[in-house]
């Protein structure tokens, strides 16, 4: 009989060689050209006693051949065995059937006549049904049948197990399929090997059940070994004593570190997943898995405890469910060990899709993340588990990362931010660096105007004018000689009047920053809304200018020809969207992005890990800054900085990124000299130059 064996791994190669030795014409198919070339030269990809000689003898007799071409392999075959890998799927432990289904699709397209398609791979219950449907939908010839023929081979004794099996299990729903499998195994009838015909699902489950039962025996004797140690008994003699009972048998009663290998761990987890999907609890198998995991980890943890550094590479970005069982124990133990932990890509237990931990996770001292930072590394609360972050370049071009589908999220880095600052020309003059108007201040809040204006000057703006209520102008003008002032009509309370918008629009300016210390009154609201409605230059709105839209956020919109940047703190953002502050903080990225894209504005949502969201849906996270900046006036400084950089760069996104990063960097420098507790907004002003110097020095050194 002509047989095609898809896959030349352990099961496929042993099975193919043994079938050939039975006298069948067998051709093995594998996509790995190097492996096929080696097999044709008699070089085995695995070690199994007697396999090399078996392959060589049958190849010389013309009964065993190898190819990389599926069409060549299945041409004329009456039986097609699928023996590709079914590794445990990361995250849930279920068998990954990707290779199985890929093979089925390919063979369906090249089959010229019906055949029996047989799964040798260990597959979950119901896989045969899915293969049947897939063959039908992909156009396999009518009359093609599907059967299950699980293998029960032991490494080191696989050929003997195949030729002298305890049993042969065949699961098939059609008599034609049973007849083909009966003919294939006819040579074993001389050895009186029992062949058990069952339904397909029964055969699929039998393999999992068999390995799970053997795993039970191993875990059982390990539990008895622990008891023997406690009561001073000899576990070897206990194992012999119970193994002589024919109902139990001596095999798999050897205490040790627990079952390992490639089959038992994978198959017990897959069985549990199958049972979970069926809604049937498997308490014994579940306990066995837990006992085995604990046994294995206990033996290794003593070695781990002697280390001075732990590298956490248990899970990566594919985790979707909370850790459980042994992995949960491992994480708890290494966290409690006090040994520094370096996580690769993500601390194990965090999900790349959520800023919130989905369960227990590694508390890393450092995370070396690959190619680009992941969401939980840069935003709370997940970030507290990441430690210091190192972004490892693994050769993926930046344009490839930026071109990926899905939400655009980027961590601001000094290397990239530094490229936004260009050297000034030798013949430059103040007009080259923009004219900024700061509309700010009211009675009792003149300091806000000063902080914004000085921040704009410290950030390089060529000319800065403070437009402030006329009654406040003498105070504002006396605070610094570097900026100009412009009186605005005001009311009896010292706040700007609504008609003052006319004067502001008449000024010669490139950018308007509006809001710091402006006050909250109907007149101010009318003034701000008129400015947004009629203004033709870019606007940076902060504080009271944002609150002016609290009862009508729909009126706060940008235009293609005139950018609007808003810089709310969480409370102001909450008022804009009519939601509790807690909701804003729980979804900072989502809230900022939704408002930015809906209103066509740039949103700088201040706070820990300030979020910048653009009208196009791009999001940037700022890593600089510290809790010492949670003090009055620091937001006013940021407003002036954004306006100044916008006036110079003429790029709203770039201005936000640069200003926000430098703002936090200045705060970090101020913390060194002043501490978080003693820091003031003026300290930020004093350290803006140092922050710029550090950033431009980095750029120079990299050049």
Query: What is the rounded end-to-end Cα distance, in angstroms, of the chain?
Result: 70
Output phi, psi for 218, to 5 deg.
Answer: -65, -50
Task: Supply the Cα-derived Rg of the chain in whole angstroms.
Answer: 36
Structure tokens at 68: 């990389």
Alpha helices in 127-234 (DSSP H): 127-137, 158-163, 175-184, 200-231
Q: Active site includes 263?
A: yes
Residues 6+ apart with CB under 8 A from 1: 24, 25, 78, 79, 180, 183, 184
Output phi, psi for 256, to 5 deg.
Answer: 180, -150
Output phi, psi for 423, to 5 deg.
Answer: -60, 145
- DSSP one-letter code for 579: -
Q: Is the peptide bond before 374 cis (omega within 30 degrees of 0)?
A: no
- Among 228, 263, 514, 656, which one carries the catalytic annotation? 263
H or E stretch including 312?
Answer: strand 310-312
CA 590 – CA 575 distance, rounded (Å): 16
Partners of 286 in beta bridges: none
In angstroms, the Cα distances linking 655 to 115, 598, 606, 661 are 67, 21, 15, 10
Q: Are strands 611-613 and 602-605 parallel, antiparallel or unpaired?
A: antiparallel
Residue 52's closest CA among 44, 62, 63? 44
Residues 6+ apart with CB under 8 A from 638: 455, 542, 567, 604, 606, 659, 660, 663
* CA 401, 402, 405, 411 torsion-angle sign: positive
Q: Are strands 25-29 and 64-67 parallel, antiparallel or unpaired?
A: parallel
Catalytic residue positions, numbered: 263
């Amino acid at each position: 009989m002509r047989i095609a064996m898809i896959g030349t791994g352990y099961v496929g190669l042993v099975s193919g060689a043994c079938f050939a030795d039975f006298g069948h014409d067998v051709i093995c198919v594998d996509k790995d050209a190097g492996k096929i070339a080696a097999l044709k030269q008699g070089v085995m990809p695995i070690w199994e006693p007697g396999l090399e000689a078996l392959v060589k003898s049958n190849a010389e007799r013309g009964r065993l051949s190898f190819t990389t071409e599926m069409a060549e392999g299945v041409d004329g075959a009456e039986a097609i065995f699928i023996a590709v890998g079914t590794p445990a799927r990361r995250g849930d432990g279920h068998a990954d059937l990707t290779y199985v289904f890929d093979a089925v699709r390919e063979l369906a397209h090249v089959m010229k006549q019906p055949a029996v398609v047989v799964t040798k791979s260990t597959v979950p219950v119901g896989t045969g049904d899915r293969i049947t449907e897939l063959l039908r939908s992909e156009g396999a010839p009518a009359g093609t049948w599907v059967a299950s023929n699980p293998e029960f081979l032991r490494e080191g004794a696989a050929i003997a197990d195949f030729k002298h099996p305890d049993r042969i299990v065949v699961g098939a729903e059609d008599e034609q399929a049973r007849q083909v499998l009966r003919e294939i195994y006819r040579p074993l009838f001389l050895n009186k090997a029992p062949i058990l015909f069952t339904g397909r699902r029964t055969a699929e489950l039998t393999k999992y059940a068999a390995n799970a039962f053997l795993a039970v025996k191993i875990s059982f004797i390990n539990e008895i070994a622990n008891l023997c140690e406690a009561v001073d008994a000899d576990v070897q003699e206990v194992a012999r004593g119970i193994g002589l009972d024919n109902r139990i048998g001596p095999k798999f009663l050897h205490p040790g570190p627990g079952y390992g290998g490639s089959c038992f761990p994978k198959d017990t987890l897959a069985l549990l997943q199958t049972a979970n999907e069926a809604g049937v609890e498997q308490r014994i198998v579940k306990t066995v898995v837990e006992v085995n995991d604990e046994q294995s980890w206990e033996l290794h943890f003593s070695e781990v405890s002697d280390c001075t550094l732990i590298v956490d590479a248990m899970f990566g970005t594919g985790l979707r469910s909370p850790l459980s069982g042994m992995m949960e124990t491992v994480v708890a133990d290494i966290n409690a060990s006090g040994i520094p932990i370096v996580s690769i890509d993500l601390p194990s237990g965090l999900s790349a899709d959520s800023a919130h931990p989905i369960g227990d996770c590694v508390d890393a001292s450092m995370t070396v993340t690959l190619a680009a930072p992941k969401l939980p590394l840069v935003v709370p609360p997940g970030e507290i588990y990441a430690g210091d972050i190192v972004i490892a370049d693994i050769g993926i071009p930046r344009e490839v990362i930026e071109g990926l589908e899905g939400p655009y999220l980027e961590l601001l880095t000094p290397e990239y931010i530094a490229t936004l600052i260009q050297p000034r020309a030798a013949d430059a003059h103040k007009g080259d660096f923009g004219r900024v108007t700061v509309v700010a201040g009211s009675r009792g809040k003149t300091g806000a105007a000063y902080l914004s204006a000085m921040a704009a000057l410290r950030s390089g703006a060529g000319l800065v004018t403070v437009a402030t209520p006329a009654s406040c102008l003498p105070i504002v003008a006396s605070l610094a000689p570097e900026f100009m002032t412009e009186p605005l009509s005001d009311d009896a309370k010292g706040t700007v009047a609504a008609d003052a918008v006319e004067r502001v629009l008449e000024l010669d300016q490139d950018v308007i920053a509006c809001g710091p210390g402006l006050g909250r009154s109907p007149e101010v609201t009318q003034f701000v809304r008129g400015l947004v409605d009629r203004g033709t230059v870019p606007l940076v709105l902060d504080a009271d200018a944002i609150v002016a839209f609290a009862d009508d956020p729909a009126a706060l919109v940008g235009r293609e020809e005139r950018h609007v940047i808003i810089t709310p703190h969480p409370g102001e953002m909450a008022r804009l969207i009519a939601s509790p502050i807690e909701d804003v903080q729980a979804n900072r990225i989502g809230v900022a992005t939704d408002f930015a894209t809906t209103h066509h504005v740039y949103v700088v949502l201040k706070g820990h890990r300030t979020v910048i969201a653009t009208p196009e849906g791009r999001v940037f996270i700022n890593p600089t800054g510290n809790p010492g900046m949670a003090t009055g006036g620091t937001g006013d400084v940021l407003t002036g900085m954004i306006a100044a950089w916008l006036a110079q760069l003429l790029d709203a996104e770039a201005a936000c990124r640069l200003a926000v990063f430098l703002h936090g960097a200045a705060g970090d420098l101020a913390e060194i000299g002043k501490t978080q507790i003693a820091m003031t907004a003026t300290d930020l002003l004093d350290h803006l130059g140092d922050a710029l110097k550090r950033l431009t020095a980095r750029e120079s050194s990299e050049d």
